[in-house]
A = this chain, B = another copy of it.
Amino acid sequence: MAEEASQPAPFARVALLGIGYMGGSLALALRASGLAKTVVGYDKDPGAATLALERGIIQLAASSPAEAVRSADLVILAAPVRALEGLAKTIAGSLTPGALLFDIGSVKGPVADAVRRAVGESHFVPCHPLAGAEKSGVGAAVADLYHGRPCVLCPFPTTDLGAIDRVEALWRAVGSHPIRVPIEEHDGLVAALSHLPHAVAFALARAAEQDGTRLRNVLPGGTLTSSLRDTTRVAASSPEVWRDIFLMNGPNVLPLIDRFVGELQTLRAQIEANDAAGLHDWLTTARTARRRLFED
């Protein structure tokens, strides 16, 4: 009975603004868990809406964001983060009073502030599900994307407590684990957790591909080393999504890139100086760091 009690009342009409891999997967999960009766979708790319209709991810396609949110009791902002402020301004006058609203963007500080200013903060709960996102496009959407993954919630001090509870219950209903993080800490945390690893993966894919023809002549794609495969996995992520994340979180990402390059330059100098002892210490600390991070 405890679990049933935490299941929120279903939403009659969910507006999904931005129909991609992350938002499409959430729509599927909400329908599968019985939490959404009808999902109304809008995407600036009409092809995404058409595909989502065909796949049953949305039940209605709207011709504008404002039309999508009309009569919706839940609004999900699922567009790339640099588009969220414009979206919020566009829909502000059409929101149903009391409608719940959250975004699922990877940057919070400036974006969440802008959305809050546009829509009012009391029923807006900034969310950031930490789920694998190296895929892109609604064609890749799956209902279990959020299952077993954390979702970071960053409510403002003045956000309605009932709204926070309903959003947490929603994430639990799709199998995610909600975690509350003060909004001012979010962007620094994810810069280290996610944005720096993505920057590294993108740069590594570009650097390695310059030998790509030579590599593939020796080893077919399926058998390339697992070290290169794993370190570059997230380089398959959406360029639109990551352009926006890097641009919106520059103040946190740039110092981390510098810190990382500094580490790599230390390694480089030790190799060049043939410094076996220093190199051994440096690598041992790296292994300890990896173990501490994941304790596995």
For the complex, is A2 an interface residue (Cβ under 8 Å from B)? no
Residues of A177-204 whose CB lies within 8 A of B: 177, 179, 181, 185, 188-189, 192-194, 196-204
For the complex, is A234 an interface residue (Cβ under 8 Å from B)? yes
Stretch at the interface among A23-31, A36-44, A206-214: A206-214
**Cβ distance A167 to chain B, nearest Cβ, rounded Å:** 18
Partner of A226, one of B132, B181, B254, B261: B132
Instruction: Report the nearest B residue to A280, measured CB to CB.
Output: B243
Q: Does more than half of chain A's interface fall in helix, strand or loop, or is it mixed?
A: helix
For the complex, is A284 an interface residue (Cβ under 8 Å from B)? yes
User: What 0/1 pattern do residues 254 to 296 of A give for CB contact below 8 A with B?
Assistant: 1011111111110110111010100110111111011111111
**Cβ distance A161 to chain B, nearest Cβ, rounded Å:** 21
**Cβ distance A127 to chain B, nearest Cβ, rounded Å:** 15
B-chain residues with CB within 8 Å of residue A286 when the two chains form the complex: 202-203, 205-206, 235, 239
Task: State the copy count for this chain.
Answer: 2
**Cβ distance A124 to chain B, nearest Cβ, rounded Å:** 22
Instruction: Assess the A236–B287 pair: CB atoms within 8 A.
Output: yes
A86 to B222, CA, bound (A): 36
A280 to B292, CA, bound (A): 34
B-chain residues with CB within 8 Å of residue A55 when the two chains form the complex: none
For the complex, is A158 an interface residue (Cβ under 8 Å from B)? no
A259, A262, A263 — most chain B CB neighbours (10 Å): A263
A267 to B259, CA, bound (A): 15
Instruction: Assess the A271–B259 pair: CB atoms within 8 A.
Output: no
For the complex, is A9 an interface residue (Cβ under 8 Å from B)? no
A224 to B194, CA, bound (A): 9
B-chain residues with CB within 8 Å of residue A253 when the two chains form the complex: 271
Instruction: Assess the A215–B189 pair: CB atoms within 8 A.
Output: yes
**Cβ distance A196 to chain B, nearest Cβ, rounded Å:** 7
Instruction: Assess the B228–A254 pair: CB atoms within 8 A.
Output: no
Instruction: Report the nearest B residue to A266, measured CB to CB.
Output: B203
Instruction: Assess the A289–B205 pair: CB atoms within 8 A.
Output: yes
Instruction: Assess the A212–B264 pair: CB atoms within 8 A.
Output: no
**Cβ distance A140 to chain B, nearest Cβ, rounded Å:** 13
Nearest 7 A/B pairs, CB to CB: A209-B289, A239-B283, A221-B295, A203-B263, A202-B286, A235-B290, A207-B260
